Structure 1
Amino acid sequence: MSGRLLPCSPQEIGSLFLFEELAPEQLGRLCAEGRVEGFDAGPVYAEGDPATCFYVMIEGTVVLSRRVGGDDIEVTRTAQRGVYAGAVQAYLGDGVRQVYNNSLRVTEPTRFFVLPADTFASIVREWFPMAVHLLEGLFFGTKSTQRAVGQRERLLALGSLSAGLTHELNNPAAAAVRATATLRERVAKMRHKLGVISSGPFPRESLASLIEIQERTAERVGKAPAFSPLEASDREDALTDWLDDHGIPDGWRLAPTFVQAGLDTDWLEQVAAAVDEGILPGAIGWLNYTVETELLMDEIEDSTTRISHLVDAAKQYSQLDRAPYRVADVHELLDSTLLMLSGKIGDRIGIVKDYDRGLPRIPAYPAELNQVWTNLIDNAVAAIRDAGGDGTLTVRTARDGDRLLVEFGDTGPGVPAAIRDRIFDPFFTTKPVGEGTGLGLDISWRIVVNKHHGAIEVDSVPGETRFRVLLPVTAPDPDTDPTEAPA
């Protein structure tokens, strides 16, 4: 918006710290090509509008704010003469999208010296060519470095996740291979035992009863209950005694398998009643192979199911087969990230999921939110390890007004108050050289605030740190480009 045009005094302009070193003819040019405007209390310009002017306050009080989610967050409030805002990067020209990166308002009648953006750019380039080259190099160099190191940060995270996923996949895969090899051996022995039994002088009725018992045994294996160590030990002793009393060799070896399958002495009595005494040892041995075969097939099924879940989690995490911007369930994203990081988290850190399952799905960039979760979980795990290695990671979701809250809490040493205001700064890290880029939280902040129009906050005391991510539950305004991330 425009203010009231007022007289421009070169002497007054020259008293502002920004212009105090300029020559009289330069001050005269400023007044000739610029203007002084007076504003009553209210807005001067809004964040996101084209940056058309460079403002320098002569007198009054200004407030700068940023739009975070649905709220205007005050960044600066000052009455210091000479503070400036607006098109401060106009000298970069078309290399940068020239919009106001904040909103400016005044709380009392205020005067500004105002330069049109193109005039400000040409004057700065003409008067300070070396400074412009240095500033351009600094700006574009920093942006380039951020992109390069940010890509490296993503590659490092991907490498860590790949190593963890490989480890997680290897365990069930190896278990399935071992179980398959053992299963082949057991099936061969079962065929041999069946051949011995069928070639003996046993009535057809006994063999039919044995086959029927085998079927019922297989069904019981699939419904076997879980026993405590003490219960399992007592049942093994009882089964061993029964097997010994009935002349079954190696009863101590067979008993644990039968217990694992949920079988007891009552079941053995049914077997003994169904077959002749002479066939009993062979029948018990054959049924033992049946039980082992069923248990091994269960192990193979569990292992391959685990592999399938890991692959699904990897697809969910990477979002390779999904649209980049879509409506998503944050709980699915959180679960896939926790599963992908389970190898890195380890067994010494407990995970508590405090989810509000009634929360709505939200419009988001799921793959990028997964990167935020990865960064925050990685930092939490590192903090817990710094505190000794044992601790708890709590992931909580809840409704916070018109926003969705995702909170990561850890029991680490906390973030010192002296650096709390710097942790989201690019390249700031407390990790040793070579172990951190200092961009994890900066990238997270950009994804949450710039791309999702949300907010990210931290509360920390020794023994409890909580990072809070607040995301809108509705899509941004239609005229807002969700892919635009201001510098």
Structure 2
Amino acid sequence: MSEPMAIAHVRKVAVQELYPELKKIPTFSQTSHHDLACLGDLEILEVPADVPILHPGDSPDYFWMVLRGGVRVYKTEKDGSTIFVTAAKEGDTFGEVPILAGTSRVHVTVESTADCTLARVPQERFWRLMATCPTVRNIILKNMSRRLEAHTALTLHREKLISLGTLAAGLMHELNNPGTAAKRAASQLRDNMTRLQEISLRMTRTRLSEEQILCLHQLLAEAFAAQKKPQAMSSLDEADAQEALAEWLEGIGVTNAWKLAPTLVAAGWTQQDIECTHHAFPPEILSDALNWLEAVISNIQLVGTIEESITRVTDLVMAVKKYAYEDKNKEHKLDIHDTLRSTLTILGHKFRHKQIAIEKQFSPDVPVLTTCGTGISQVWTNLLDNAIDASPEGGKITIRTWTEGKWVCVGIADRGPGIPPEHRDKVFEPFFTTKPVGVGTGLGLDIAHRVVTGHYNGQIGFTTEAGKTEFIVKLPIEKAAL
């Protein structure tokens, strides 16, 4: 292990000389001289403030005691951010976790927070103390258990924050498109209203005949007819139709013909639909009549765009509500297909980013469950997130549902490389991950396993081979209690 930098003094002291100070440490408060005799000589370190004592990658060679001052323990993430793990003050001990866990390297930084005096015990003497002094052993094991619980809670909290960040990023992606579309449509609608007013004022200066008024009424009625739906056309057919209509409009003397044609064709209008204008209006007001019609149709289309955008935003809000809402410990109905669709909506941007196709094979026979379980959306999120990571660019993920005896089954399959044989027994273990450092926490499948088995009394497993991995979740059709 590398020595602390800028340590003023290191000396060896017999444990008998330190016994009065060690008795002040809770870990050793109930020990006798005989209990601590196995420690032999202790190394005493005088460490100035803000000096690293342990670095990530150091060997856990010592068990440490804080005789004066204090230290803090933190972890540096891949992105350079630091996460506070714990602190040790005067009378505390640290360093037992990596020794007892059998790790060969520490993964945290230990740094003095003030001028401090530390005592350290080599690993072999620490093991001797653990073997010969049950009182100390019990206290140290309790400390280790408490610290592992705190570390797990911290990691779970970070996992939730990462999930929240992913959710927020997904929402920003999803909300940006309808928001931008609605804003653009509103701006165009304002311009159209101005243009429509100008055309209408010009047309009021001309006394319209009965034929002209009838033609305008007929066109207006058709424009607002709810049943008038444009016929689907290929891009090539649509371009040909626009060109043909623009040429006809230009031929009868209509200004802005090439601007009018795309709007009219997009709304399903043809030359026959506006033929009455050619016969009813003289050339001097024909352009105004058709530009007026185009402005009305364009306004209807823009209002439709705004309605669609707002509907999309509402759908997203509902998806998030269904995704996040949990009626904890209360019996409620659970529509598996509904939760899957909501999760797919939330993760939509991730599928589009890798151009992954989603194939849904939802069985109509799957019943709505009555359950007290919660957290199923988090299960789908973790499984789909892993499937996305495993899938190649432009791949496909298949989601299927079916019933099997007393179970409702959900399968989520990717076309990735498969899980290597040496990893298959560990996939549901907490903190196990094959993802790069800083990318995966190793808790996604552990959380999924705990939710399915613990909250729903269900089962979760997988099948894997080269080119396909499918995780299968089975939930009981009969009421599952938390």
**Same fold per superposition (TM over 0.5):** yes
Q: Is the 1:333–1:366 contact (alpha carbons within 8 Å) kept by the matching residues of 2? A: no
Which of 326, 336, 340 does residue 330 from structure 1 map onto?
Answer: 336
Q: Is the 1:325–1:365 contact (alpha carbons within 8 Å) kept by the matching residues of 2? A: yes
What secondary structure is seen at the aligned counterpart in 2 of 1:346? helix
Tell me how far 1:406 sits from its aligned partner. Answer: 0.9
Give 1:345's aligned amino acid.
Answer: F
User: Residue 271 of structure 1 aligns with which residue?
Assistant: 277
Which of 376, 379, 385 does residue 369 from structure 1 map onto?
Answer: 376
Q: Describe the shift of the 1:125–1:315 C-alpha distance in structure 2 as closer, same or farther (beyond 3 A).
A: farther
What secondary structure is seen at the aligned counterpart in 2 of 1:264? coil
Deviates more, 1:336-345 or 1:354-363: 354-363
User: Residue 473 of structure 1 aligns with which residue?
Assistant: 477
1:461 aligns with 2:468: no
Q: Describe the shift of the 1:213–1:244 C-alpha distance in structure 2 as closer, same or farther (beyond 3 A).
A: same
User: Residue 9 of structure 1 aligns with which residue?
Assistant: none
Query: Number of paired residues?
Result: 352
Tell me how far 1:233 sits from its aligned partner. Answer: 1.6
Unaligned runs of 5+ in 1: 1-123, 477-481
Deviates more, 1:331-340 or 1:226-235: 226-235
Tell me how far 1:277 sits from its aligned partner. Answer: 4.5
Which of 182, 186, 211 does residue 180 from structure 1 map onto?
Answer: 186
1:241 aligns with 2:238: no
Q: Describe the shift of the 1:414–1:324 C-alpha distance in structure 2 as closer, same or farther (beyond 3 A).
A: farther
User: Residue 50 of structure 2 aligns with which residue?
Assistant: none
Q: Is the 1:150–1:443 contact (alpha carbons within 8 Å) kept by the matching residues of 2? A: no
Give 1:381's aligned amino acid.
Answer: I
User: Residue 259 of structure 1 aligns with which residue?
Assistant: 265
Q: Is the 2:418–2:465 contact (alpha carbons within 8 Å) kept by the matching residues of 1? A: yes
Query: TM-score under structure 1 normalisation?
Result: 0.68
Q: Describe the shift of the 1:172–1:458 C-alpha distance in structure 2 as closer, same or farther (beyond 3 A).
A: same
Q: Counterparts of 2:205 and 2:373 in 1: how far apart (Å)?
A: 64
Give 1:337's aligned amino acid.
Answer: T
Q: Is the 1:209–1:275 contact (alpha carbons within 8 Å) kept by the matching residues of 2? A: no
Tell me how far 1:125 sits from its aligned partner. Answer: 12
Q: Describe the shift of the 1:321–1:300 C-alpha distance in structure 2 as closer, same or farther (beyond 3 A).
A: farther
Give 1:160's aligned amino acid.
Answer: T
Q: Counterparts of 1:165 and 1:366 in 2: how far apart (Å)?
A: 26
Tell me how far 1:349 sits from its aligned partner. Answer: 0.3
Q: Describe the shift of the 1:262–1:220 C-alpha distance in structure 2 as closer, same or farther (beyond 3 A).
A: farther
Give 1:471's aligned amino acid.
Answer: L
CA displacement 1:299-342 (0-9 Å, x = unmatched): 11111111111111111111167875522101111110110111
CA displacement 1:260-313 (0-9 Å, x = unmatched): 010011112133234444432211111111111111111111111111111111
Q: Describe the shift of the 1:366–1:219 C-alpha distance in structure 2 as closer, same or farther (beyond 3 A).
A: farther
Tell me how far 1:363 sits from its aligned partner. Answer: 3.1
Q: Describe the shift of the 1:452–1:126 C-alpha distance in structure 2 as closer, same or farther (beyond 3 A).
A: farther
User: Residue 404 of structure 2 aligns with which residue?
Assistant: 400
User: Residue 315 of structure 2 aligns with which residue?
Assistant: 309
Q: Describe the shift of the 1:324–1:373 C-alpha distance in structure 2 as closer, same or farther (beyond 3 A).
A: farther
Q: Is the 2:181–2:309 contact (alpha carbons within 8 Å) kept by the matching residues of 1? A: yes
What secondary structure is seen at the aligned counterpart in 2 of 1:247? coil
Give 2:447's aligned amino acid.
Answer: I
1:357 aligns with 2:361: no
Q: Describe the shift of the 1:207–1:474 C-alpha distance in structure 2 as closer, same or farther (beyond 3 A).
A: same
Q: Is the 2:365–2:403 contact (alpha carbons within 8 Å) kept by the matching residues of 1? A: no
1:416 aligns with 2:420: yes
What secondary structure is seen at the aligned counterpart in 1 of 2:225? helix
Q: Is the 1:454–1:469 contact (alpha carbons within 8 Å) kept by the matching residues of 2? A: yes
1:379 aligns with 2:386: yes
Q: Is the 1:221–1:294 contact (alpha carbons within 8 Å) kept by the matching residues of 2? A: no
Q: Counterparts of 2:442 and 2:260 in 1: how far apart (Å)?
A: 59
Tell me how far 1:450 sits from its aligned partner. Answer: 1.8
Q: Counterparts of 2:348 and 2:176 in 1: how far apart (Å)?
A: 14
Correspondences of 1:275-314 after superposition (within 5 Å): 275-314=281-320
Q: Counterparts of 1:315 and 1:140 in 2: how far apart (Å)?
A: 35
Q: Counterparts of 2:373 and 2:315 in 1: how far apart (Å)?
A: 19
Q: Describe the shift of the 1:431–1:153 C-alpha distance in structure 2 as closer, same or farther (beyond 3 A).
A: same
1:341 aligns with 2:347: yes
Give 2:452's aligned amino acid.
Answer: V
Q: Counterparts of 1:365 and 1:321 in 2: how far apart (Å)?
A: 8
Q: Describe the shift of the 1:222–1:310 C-alpha distance in structure 2 as closer, same or farther (beyond 3 A).
A: farther
Q: Describe the shift of the 1:238–1:363 C-alpha distance in structure 2 as closer, same or farther (beyond 3 A).
A: same
Q: Describe the shift of the 1:408–1:435 C-alpha distance in structure 2 as closer, same or farther (beyond 3 A).
A: same
Q: Is the 1:316–1:333 contact (alpha carbons within 8 Å) kept by the matching residues of 2? A: yes
Q: Counterparts of 2:440 and 2:372 in 1: how far apart (Å)?
A: 25
Q: Describe the shift of the 1:217–1:322 C-alpha distance in structure 2 as closer, same or farther (beyond 3 A).
A: farther
User: Residue 120 of structure 2 aligns with which residue?
Assistant: none
Q: Describe the shift of the 1:157–1:320 C-alpha distance in structure 2 as closer, same or farther (beyond 3 A).
A: same
What secondary structure is seen at the aligned counterpart in 2 of 1:286? helix
What secondary structure is seen at the aligned counterpart in 1 of 2:470? strand
Unaligned runs of 5+ in 2: 1-129
Tell me how far 1:202 sits from its aligned partner. Answer: 3.0
